Structure 1
Amino acid sequence: MIIDLLKFELKYHFGQISFKVAALLFFILGYFCVVQGGFGSEDVHKNSPYVITNIIVLLSLFSIFSGTLFSANVVLRDNLYKMEAVVFTTSIKKRPYFVIRLLGLIISVFSLLLLVALGIYLGTFFIAADRLGDFRITYFLQPLLVFALPNVLFSAGILFCTTVLTKNVRAIYVVGVLMYILYMLASIFGNSPLLATSTMKAGSPDILPLLLDPFALASFFGETRTWTDLQRNKQLFPFDGAFLLNRLLWLGFTALLVLITYRLFNFRLQQQQQAKIKAAKAEPVELVPYRAFVVFSNGSRYYLNTFFAQFKLEMIFLFKNIPIMVMLLLWVFLFGVELKDKLFSGIYGIHSYPATGIIIEEIRSMKFGLILIVFYAAETIGKEKSVNIHSLIYSTPVQYSALWMAKNLSLFALVFILVTLNIGIGIVLQLTHGYFQIELPMYLSLYYYSAFPLLLFVVLVVFIQNLSANKYLGMLLSMIVIFLVSYAERFGLAHYLFRFATVPDLLHSYFNGFGYYANAFNWYMLYWSAFVIVIAVLTIGMWQRLVEIKIKTRFRSIGLTLKQYKWTTVLALLLWISCAAFIYHQTNTIGKYKNKQDQLNWSLAYEQKYKALAGLPQPVIKDVKMSVDLYPNEGKYTIKGTYRLKNESKLPIAKIWTYVSPAVNSFSITIIESEKSKRDEAFNQQFITLKTPLQPNEEIMMDFSVEVIRSGFIPFNSENSVVKNGSYIELEKIVPQFDYCYNFESEDKRERKRAGLPEIASKPNLNNTYELIHLETTISTAIDQQVITVGELQKNWIANNRSYFRYKTSIPINFMFALSSARYRVKKEKYKGVDLRVYYQSGQEYNLKSMFKAVRDALDYGNAHFAKYPLKHLTIAEIPQYKGAATAYPGVVFSAENINFLGNYSQKDAIDQSYAIAAHETAHQWWANILAPANVAGYAMLTESLAKYTENVLIEKTFGKMYLRKYLAYDNNLYFLNRNNNERELPLAKTLDQPYVHYQKGGITMYAVKELIGEKKFNTILSQLIIDHENPKPKATAADLVNALLKQVLPKHKKFINDCFNEVVTYDLDIKLINCKKLMNGKFKIDLEIDAERLANGDKQLPDLEVDLACFDQLEMDWEPDIKPVYTQKLQVSQRKTKLSIIVAHQPKTVVIDPYGYVLDVDKGDHVAVVE
């Protein structure tokens, strides 16, 4: 009998249309993820255990949604269809009934994940053989059994218990959402890489967050994010430690909850208590004569009365219940925790001031609210049917438009409540942290920027839900549509004309608000509003009246509705088409839109057409004189300029080959002495044939003009941004340049191979000589703005209601020049003959003192140890916080607002990033400007790595070595977090477009070399590098520094130097306390064991490392930044196990290997041994 009941239950589950649609969806997702998904570098096999587990783990989250639907639709069916009286009087007993319903739910949900595995397997047949490894069934079975099955047991168990105990659909929805929130909280505390900020945080989570994640995603991603490609290809996820405890904990919790539910479950009808009727004293009732009332069922008054009556009912239904209150409280809790985490636990532990501008950018996106819209739209649309009064309602003359409007407005109210709660969260967080600059207009803007897209989704979801006779199918279809819209770019629909109510992520800045995308946002909202008006008319025309009415009949009724709303529909369509035409013109015509594939094809075609011409002799730019007219309010600028060109080659030049950036809308390039000119508009190339070839050492003048239009209809480029306040343009990337541009090439290995192009190995060294220029720039901008650029300000004036600024360089500079234009305040200081200036926004003076100190310290250190600073000024100019932290140019640093000017570094344990970044960017005056390396692989080691070294040394000298230890720990963790993301890691001396190598690893490595050979010796080598390779001598390469080091270090250190720069090597260190014994003389003998391994190419090898050993009088948790060790020694580690004894004056609390944190080790938690 049990088997028969289970067969019947599963047949009922599998027969539901919602299950069939979900099954197809999960299968497609499995196939799509393995074929199109990216899970690490190209060396990670598509059928590796890591990739398969990754997909199954992620999609197991969707089991919450499918389990919610199946619980409400199938498990609760006896209650919904009033069949409990029949079922409970049959011979079926309580236990089999309970078990069969539970098993049916578990098996149906788990079968969806089996289909995911099937989709993955079949998808591998459509993947190139070189992307696949060996097939092993265990790669599928292990994630299904240790991840998918426990996750399904948990989610299905919780939902089943809720269903059985409450028999309330909305309670099921609340629990479904609660589980998502529980996962989100565990992700926040566990630093899950699925969160946008996680990859920017350092440090491993404690065991508690790993245990609190019921789906174990934090355990999986936290462990595997530092795995090598070899591990990802071969290694199954270890079923031990915190992960094993997590599985046991939540399986035990689920089993206990199911057991309790079984005990509480009553296998009988719940009798409604009859209210006692009090006997009432009979009183005579006066008869009222009958009067006939005339009822008008037409006209605006009746329409409004019915609308308001229905709206009142909808609002009561939606909000006057406990589940929605619980849901809203959960919303507040989740967003409050997440917002606090983002503000006060950023990269390097950065704490931001809770400024309104920062908060509204964090809370603007409310995609999570779409889940609530789907749930409550289904309940609202099906409300009348659920209580069987739909026949009564639709027998009245009420207009369907009144019902449609009432239901939509009630859902609109839900959206506005969510926005209001978010605003409340932001304000409360500000007040509780002592920040009282509450900027209400910014908050109120969220009712437009946050709410409006969701309102459009409300209309769409109501349309889908109304179209479906089954509300659970409608919910599933709605989620599918939302998924397709959210990931439309993955399906080739990148253009926002085809992505419903979707706009680029709005970027907020105190300079300009949401300015860049604001105008485009308005047009997209108008465009989709016109579309949803049509959707609304169709919804009203096909309004669900009776279940029995077929879909064909409902489609036929559209004609009557269209006739009724003829002009509304026509005007909406005209508006929609007009908006589409305008957006298309702005995006495709003016903005020269290219989707990802178009851009790839463009890059491949450019290389195929012009690569063979690379390296032809071309003139060198000697002088640049420009006039830049910036129009912030119009989002455009023009440049007119003249180059003085010189032929520094040994051959005559008959044809000059020049190009401009694809971002340029129009350009003109002329040379008076030219004979003819040929242009390639597709690639912005121009070939100019001279009347007389330019002979060696001869010069010629070239005139040019360019126009650039920037608007919110094209992707935002933080390096080419024109906004009403806070424009920032890196001009050297816009003005004409010569020869072949390697930056235009595509780095996609597979597409390059398909196109017959070779793999990019490294940048070619076409020229290792300096090509410095004299620069003179005249810039006009809005009358109330100040312009900052490279050079010294010669003059500024006002004319034609515009402000003009003329800058000129005092010495030749590299071909690097940018500008910013904004409404600035300025703080000035004179320091040892150098004019220091910081241009900033009013009200953002928090970190100016720290920035000035960093600049002074960096100038002193650079002048003392590297070379004399060549300029008489150094300027820092604040720019909007869009991407990155800062950018250095000769004599100018452009510094981002949030991290530098709005970061709160007043806490004692905070790393002062305003100091660190200012020191780093000032160091670039030596490491990028005075010494400009050859543009080859390893270039960034001589710029970013050495700037990080200078930054680290200045932090050490200013704040102490143990303060720096914390900073290096962040760099160490960020390096390991990012090293296995997308590509094979290159050695530091050959680094190429891998920031985690030349920033995080490079800074740590340079500091380790300093500790090995001494600061004075290392700085002498660096100073000599500048002497040997500054202008006019040949440019330096990474090999020059490595060779210089190898010549200077002791023979025993040469292998370590080679490992640092020419190999990809990390270490695994571990220290253990064996014994601590007090000696007769009162001193203490401490016996230690050190485990050490050298990790390279996936192999564990013998170490060859000199490292520090130190003792401290405090436990690690009590270390202050100024703590000093009570004992130190240098230790040469050359064996996997090293036993040693040390004698100390008194018993310390801790013994530490690598106390200053300059050894690259993925787990530094075992570097400290507690002395007991």
Structure 2
Amino acid sequence: MKLGRIARFEFAYQLRRPAYWLFFAVLLFVAWSIIQANYVPDARDGWLLLNAPLVIASTTVVAGMLWLFLAASIAGEAASRDISSGLHPLSYSAPVSRFQYLTGRFLAAYALNAGLLLAVPAGMLLGMHWPDVEPEIIGPWRPVAFLLAYLSIALPNAFLATAVQFALVALSGRAVLAYFASLLLFLATMGLSVFMMTVLKQPDLARLFDPIGMIAIVSGLSDIWTTHEVNTRLVGLQPLWLGNRLLWLIVGVTVLGFTFRRFRLAHPAERRRRAKRAKLRAPEPDDAQAPSARLPMISKVAAASRFGARAQWRQLCAATALSLRMLAKGWTVFAPLLAGGLLVCIAIAANMEFMGVPLLPRTEHVLDYLTAALANPGNRLWMVIPLLTVFYAGELVWGERDARMGEITGAMPVREWVFFVARFLALAVLLLAWMVVIGLATVIAQAVLGYRDFEIGLLAKALLGLQWPEYLLFALLALAVQAIVNQKQIGMLLVLVLYGLIAFAPMLGIEHKLLVFGASPAWSYSDIRGFGNSLAPWLAFKAYWFSWALLLAVLAHLLWVRGRESGLRARWQLARTRLTRATVVTAMLAGAAVLGLGAYILYNTHVLNTWQSQADRLARAAAYERQYARYAKLAQPRLAVSTMRVELHPQRRVADIRGSYLLSNAGTQDIETVHVAISTRDGVDTRRVEFDRPATRVRDDAVLGHRIYRLARPLRPGESMQLRYEVVFAPRGFANTGADASIVGNGSWVNAQDVLPTIGYQPGRELREAGDRRTQGLPARPLVPDLDDAAARTGAADETGMQFEAIVGTDGDQVAVAPGNLLGSWREHGRRYFHYASKAPIGTDVQFFSARYAVHRQRCQGVTVEVFHHPAHDGIVAATARSACASLALYSRLFGAYPYDSLHIVENPERDIGAHSEPGQVDYGDGFALLHPATDEGGLDLVTAVVAHEVAHQWWGGQRFRPARVEGIGLLIESMATYSATQVVEDSLGAEQLHAYLSMMREQYQVPRSLAMPPLLRASEQFLNYRKGPLALYALSQYIGRDNVNRALRRLLDAHPPGRTPRATTRDLYRELEAVTPQRYRGVLHDLFAMNAYWEFSATQANASKRADGRWQITLEVKARKFIVDEQGAEQPQPLDEWVEIGVYPGAAKRQENRQVIVGSPLYLAKHHITQARESITIVVPGEPGHAGIDPRSLLVEMRTRDNFADVAR
């Protein structure tokens, strides 16, 4: 059969190519690397088994993403080899049908790709059984997991990709378009699916339309499966995934059908002319009647033979223009540019909100969605530009030779460097066009969102000055590799592999940026800090890599192929003749720059700063624990008073700190030795540590930062002594990760714990992750001690806090902020000084800020509330101060008096929207100032809620209440703060805002996640602490009354003042809540806090009739179910004995996107006792009903609430 012979010939031909087996080796290495770099550490940490089915499936997907580009030449070669080799006149005229020709070639390509993808399971097996992998992290051998991953992921992906690649190449005749087909699929995965997930808020739709499986499997299943499910459940038979496979198989078949219909066994030019032939054909004139015409005589033209600098410049311009025209023809340039601009608009629009609240699309914020470093890119979407560069570089270098014009252009009187530089300039112009399109799309998106303060200068600096060079570096690399390798497909493969190594170097254990082409410390920008000192290291590394790129360009120039001489030996011989004086000087200058800049970078990263690999850091932490953990329980003096003078010099990047500690023995034993932890941070020089009594330094470990002093006279119980210190913090140069930004020209932020001496052994320096402890030979232990761990409930030495006083000096145009009341400020020698002192004890986590702040002051409840903010960020200041005042008033009444005379709310220079609380002080990232609820009429005022949450930490987790660091601590700190904030929102903003706030928190339940969780009493996860915990407390308040819950919380606080042991746990909270809960609601309390319970409610029907007295009688049919999910994911149905709200409301049910059902004032709202799976409830209401429902306010934990209501029928 002809079809079979065609397929066998194609299969055998490509199987003999060395490139095929090179692809196989690369893919095997990639699969091995994914297992070793990603999943071995996770398995050691106990999150999964190394050979879990989901690990196998996810690795298949991720490796398949690289396979898209590695193997594009297989389909491209199969579809275009006849045209590229010039044999198509023969093959197209052979007695073979179009179906046989195309089907044979396609089946061969598909079989080759299917065989190539066998490298993935082979690489996985190699990685799982590598010598350093411990047997205990590998589960039972399950061949079916590999088989399912191959059959349901690899083979369908191979069919789709091969079909699209084959189609584009067959219809165009250009093999390189197979790479472009891979880019289309990459964009479909990273663009279309993410758009559906983030913009449309349709995760199931995103998984269905994900062509490769990144959303459907890698992020989809891993988010919703428990550890037990990850280790045991097979991947590939889930209904949604089967639907995904069917959809994309249909797409692949459709693409092939279209290709078979449009393809013609004719010369490519003939195909393009066929559609136009009838229109262009004109009657031919009769030769006999044709008028004679005289042809002009050809005259000899004297050609100039001068080829100086001017002529070479003109040649360069002409060659650049020609290269640009070659790139710009067709749709391979303009279509991606258009798609890129559209993606920018979508990305900005989709991300200009935080928890449902609009954000100001300021340029500093949108830059995150426009830029991505070449090495280790944070924004994976913009990996598409380097991938396109691989494609364009191949086209530029091989364009003339593919068109069989290479010998002609090679014979032209043009220098080799002109050919190379012209192509680089053309690629640079194309990349510049990308930057311009991205910039224009950004401005358009900002304008559409109503923003008018365009910062064109900043946008130009970021895109043209910082992002464009990233791409230019890679463009030079791609062009140089193509020129040096002189094999188009191998060159593209090599560039792709190099890009993979560059982009994912840290995952492969390559950490130093001098070893990764194009790598550099990241630059950063914020409105307060500007670029700060982040540009200097970035420029140094980029200059270093551009010097290397110049050396590569010189080599490419020397080895540039002209004419028929393409062998390596002939090219080396030609290279000697091209080694002109200018070439040698250029190479020497580039080499000198490499050596000089490399030495400068090494001096900064290894001399001025300490270079440590991840392995070094782990070993150092393990050594600290091994040597000094035996002193963890040793009695140490308590830090009672801290006094210091801080001289901040922002312009010089220096902080000079001198101070003293008053150390007291609050225990019952004599203290003979004092352990002092010294900062090992780069730039910290601890110049003096001395006591006011004789002491001998018996241990000084400068490497691990630990000193031991033996006192000449022991410190008796009740006695005190002074420790005086002098520390200079002066960050120098830059490290491998960049320059230390703690002290900068504007926006300095210094954490005293990072630089000052601290007393005693420091558990925070220990390794916590199970895998890290295992690799370092340390004993295993849980991340968080057990809830009933008695030892963990004992108090720490600093639990009662310390008195604090500081004088902080800074530049004359700045404001310095420290904890405590501002006792005075003055100017001296052109500098400003601020004197702060705390009225009540604070924690030891002291932070200093200095910037050109504007200050908003407001007096409320006897407390001075001060908001220190960037002058341009004044949009949220009033709301921040109002919320702080409302919070202080409410919490002081409910939970006890606020212990300080002032509350500082400080904007820090970091680019985040979060906030952080310490006694007497709250700081928030400058991204928090982006919140712009005014643009969302009737939307959530998140500023008020967040500030109320942080102020609540002055009671919950602050100096007022410090629970035991055991399981459930998050419920006692974060859940309490959030629940307290709900009361501020309700009291100051009203019920509608409260409903919006609660709805925002409940939205997290709509995000796919595993139901397997520990009970709240043992909660440690953020979702449980910030969402489920506060919602459970609010639900309980609606059952037993808000006052009863607050009374229980006040009792908890009063029973556990600072310094009292044992410290509080969630069992103490449960006991207090149980004491105020009526017997009928004890079951709700137990289910919400002691069990991981879920409910399912639905209103199936509601009927109403008007009574004679004018009232309405409603019969509501409901369904109910309750079940408990253990930590392994097993569901256990529970009998129904529930008190559940039933509500009746006027009008039709209303819905708001991504939020719970929005309801007005109820006609009826009361709790009913539900004991059956199906119940009929009859209610009489005073007005005409519109809709009725069960659990209308979603008080109980339910994953889906959209069917809780039913419209009332009459």
TM-score, normalization by structure 1: 0.92
- Work out the CA distance in 2 between the residues paired with 1:979 and 1:1087: 30
**Shift, 1:643, TM fit:** 0.7
1:666 aligns with 2:685: yes
1:921/1:322 CA distance change after superposition, 3 Å: same
Q: What letter matches 1:11 in structure 2?
A: A
Determine the structure 1 residue equivalent to 2:629. Answer: 611
**Shift, 1:1027, TM fit:** 1.9
Determine the structure 1 residue equivalent to 2:1125. Answer: 1095
Q: What letter matches 1:1003 in structure 2?
A: P
Which residue among 238, 259, 262 is the counterpart of 1:261? Answer: 259
User: Residue 69 of structure 1 aligns to a residue in which SS?
Assistant: helix
- Work out the CA distance in 2 between the residues paired with 1:241 and 1:1093: 24
Q: What letter matches 1:742 in structure 2?
A: P
1:432 aligns with 2:448: yes
- 1:536-551 alignment runs, 5 A limit: 536-546=553-563, 548-551=565-568
Deviation string, structure 1 residues 653-695 (Cα, Å, up to 9, x no partner): 2221111333253213122423322310111111122222222
User: Residue 627 of structure 1 aligns to a residue in which SS?
Assistant: strand
8 Å contact from structure 2 (residues 1186, 1207) kept in 1 = yes
1:368 aligns with 2:391: no
Determine the structure 1 residue equivalent to 2:248. Answer: 250
Q: What letter matches 1:611 in structure 2?
A: A
Determine the structure 1 residue equivalent to 2:363. Answer: 356
Determine the structure 1 residue equivalent to 2:1077. Answer: 1049
Determine the structure 1 residue equivalent to 2:377. Answer: none
8 Å contact from structure 1 (residues 623, 774) kept in 2 = yes
Which residue among 653, 665, 668 is the counterpart of 1:650? Answer: 668
Determine the structure 2 residue equivalent to 1:137. Answer: 143
Determine the structure 1 residue equivalent to 2:808. Answer: 779
Q: What letter matches 1:858 in structure 2?
A: S
**Shift, 1:315, TM fit:** 1.6
- Work out the CA distance in 2 between the residues paired with 1:980 and 1:631: 50
User: Residue 118 of structure 2 aligns to a residue in which SS?
Assistant: helix
Q: What letter matches 1:729 in structure 2?
A: V
Determine the structure 2 residue equivalent to 1:15. Answer: 16
- Work out the CA distance in 2 between the residues paired with 1:183 and 1:123: 27
1:875 aligns with 2:904: yes
Q: What letter matches 2:726 in structure 1?
A: S
Which residue among 841, 851, 873 is the counterpart of 1:822? Answer: 851
Determine the structure 2 residue equivalent to 1:1108. Answer: 1141
Determine the structure 2 residue equivalent to 1:750. Answer: 771
1:1156 aligns with 2:1153: no
Q: What letter matches 1:882 in structure 2?
A: R
User: Residue 1042 of structure 1 aligns to a residue in which SS?
Assistant: helix
**Shift, 1:409, TM fit:** 0.8
Determine the structure 1 residue equivalent to 2:502. Answer: 485
Which residue among 751, 755, 762 is the counterpart of 1:734? Answer: 755
Deviation string, structure 1 residues 156-184 (Cα, Å, up to 9, x no partner): 22222222222235654544323322222
- Work out the CA distance in 1 between the residues paired with 2:706 and 2:1009: 37
**Shift, 1:295, TM fit:** 0.6
**Shift, 1:1066, TM fit:** 4.1
Determine the structure 2 residue equivalent to 1:676. Answer: 696
Determine the structure 2 residue equivalent to 1:83. Answer: 87
1:31/1:329 CA distance change after superposition, 3 Å: same
**Shift, 1:714, TM fit:** 3.7
8 Å contact from structure 2 (residues 808, 835) kept in 1 = yes
- Work out the CA distance in 2 between the residues paired with 1:1116 and 1:186: 30
1:633 aligns with 2:634: no
Deviation string, structure 1 residues 899-936 (Cα, Å, up to 9, x no partner): 34444453035332211111111111211334231452
**Shift, 1:113, TM fit:** 2.6
- Work out the CA distance in 2 between the residues paired with 1:553 and 1:286: 45
User: Residue 266 of structure 2 aligns to a residue in which SS?
Assistant: coil
Q: What letter matches 1:1046 in structure 2?
A: E
8 Å contact from structure 1 (residues 1116, 1150) kept in 2 = no
- Work out the CA distance in 2 between the residues paired with 1:502 and 1:1171: 64
- 1:872-911 alignment runs, 5 A limit: 872-883=901-912, 885-908=914-937, 910-911=939-940
User: Residue 140 of structure 2 aligns to a residue in which SS?
Assistant: coil
Determine the structure 1 residue equivalent to 2:955. Answer: 926
8 Å contact from structure 2 (residues 861, 889) kept in 1 = no
- Work out the CA distance in 2 between the residues paired with 1:51 and 1:291: 72
Determine the structure 1 residue equivalent to 2:468. Answer: 451
Q: What letter matches 1:422 in structure 2?
A: I
Which residue among 115, 119, 128 is the counterpart of 2:119? Answer: 115
**Shift, 1:482, TM fit:** 0.5
- Work out the CA distance in 1 between the residues paired with 2:807 and 2:102: 81
**Shift, 1:1057, TM fit:** 4.1
1:104/1:747 CA distance change after superposition, 3 Å: same
**Shift, 1:412, TM fit:** 0.8
- 1:378-777 alignment runs, 5 A limit: 378-445=394-461, 446-546=463-563, 548-555=565-572, 564=581, 565-663=583-681, 665-667=684-686, 668-677=688-697, 678-710=699-731, 713-714=734-735, 721-761=742-782, 762=784, 764-767=792-795, 770-777=799-806
1:339 aligns with 2:339: no
8 Å contact from structure 2 (residues 1016, 1024) kept in 1 = yes
**Shift, 1:1072, TM fit:** 4.5
User: Residue 218 of structure 1 aligns to a residue in which SS?
Assistant: helix
1:1001/1:662 CA distance change after superposition, 3 Å: farther
Equivalent residues, number: 1155
Q: What letter matches 1:21 in structure 2?
A: L
User: Residue 332 of structure 2 aligns to a residue in which SS?
Assistant: helix
Q: What letter matches 1:1155 in structure 2?
A: P
8 Å contact from structure 1 (residues 226, 1162) kept in 2 = no
Query: Which has the higher mean CA deviation after the structures are superposed, 565-574 or 353-362?
Result: 565-574
- Work out the CA distance in 1 between the residues paired with 2:154 and 2:173: 27
**Shift, 1:186, TM fit:** 2.6
1:84/1:487 CA distance change after superposition, 3 Å: same
1:480/1:980 CA distance change after superposition, 3 Å: farther
User: Residue 757 of structure 1 aligns to a residue in which SS?
Assistant: coil
Q: What letter matches 1:780 in structure 2?
A: G
Q: What letter matches 1:342 in structure 2?
A: N
- Work out the CA distance in 2 between the residues paired with 1:533 and 1:412: 15
Deviation string, structure 1 residues 456-479 (Cα, Å, up to 9, x no partner): 111111111112222122111111
Deviation string, structure 1 residues 562-585 (Cα, Å, up to 9, x no partner): 663223222322222222222223
- 1:187-266 alignment runs, 5 A limit: 187-191=193-197, 205=202, 207-220=204-217, 221-237=219-235, 239=237, 241-266=239-264
**Shift, 1:1054, TM fit:** 4.9
Query: Which has the higher mean CA deviation after the structures are superposed, 1157-1166 or 785-794?
Result: 1157-1166
- Work out the CA distance in 1 between the residues paired with 2:738 and 2:891: 33
Query: Which has the higher mean CA deviation after the structures are superposed, 949-958 or 97-106?
Result: 949-958
Q: What letter matches 2:642 in structure 1?
A: V
- Work out the CA distance in 2 between the residues paired with 1:765 and 1:86: 86
Give structure 1 stretches of 5+ with no counterpart: 192-197
Q: What letter matches 1:436 in structure 2?
A: R
- Work out the CA distance in 1 between the residues paired with 2:233 and 2:1103: 39
Q: What letter matches 1:623 in structure 2?
A: V
**Shift, 1:428, TM fit:** 0.8
- Work out the CA distance in 2 between the residues paired with 1:1069 and 1:786: 55
**Shift, 1:525, TM fit:** 1.1
1:157/1:905 CA distance change after superposition, 3 Å: farther
Deviation string, structure 1 residues 1103-1160 (Cα, Å, up to 9, x no partner): 465443434443241578672333323245667x353424253775554444333434
8 Å contact from structure 1 (residues 174, 327) kept in 2 = no
User: Residue 691 of structure 1 aligns to a residue in which SS?
Assistant: strand
- Work out the CA distance in 1 between the residues paired with 2:321 and 2:422: 8
8 Å contact from structure 1 (residues 1079, 1085) kept in 2 = no
User: Residue 1067 of structure 2 aligns to a residue in which SS?
Assistant: helix
Q: What letter matches 1:434 in structure 2?
A: G
Give structure 2 stretches of 5+ with no counterpart: 373-381, 786-791
- Work out the CA distance in 1 between the residues paired with 2:111 and 2:733: 49
- Work out the CA distance in 2 between the residues paired with 1:766 and 1:473: 65
**Shift, 1:811, TM fit:** 2.3
- Work out the CA distance in 1 between the residues paired with 2:410 and 2:1171: 86
1:295/1:837 CA distance change after superposition, 3 Å: same
User: Residue 576 of structure 1 aligns to a residue in which SS?
Assistant: helix
Determine the structure 2 residue equivalent to 1:1039. Answer: 1067
Q: What letter matches 1:1099 in structure 2?
A: A
8 Å contact from structure 1 (residues 1154, 1167) kept in 2 = yes
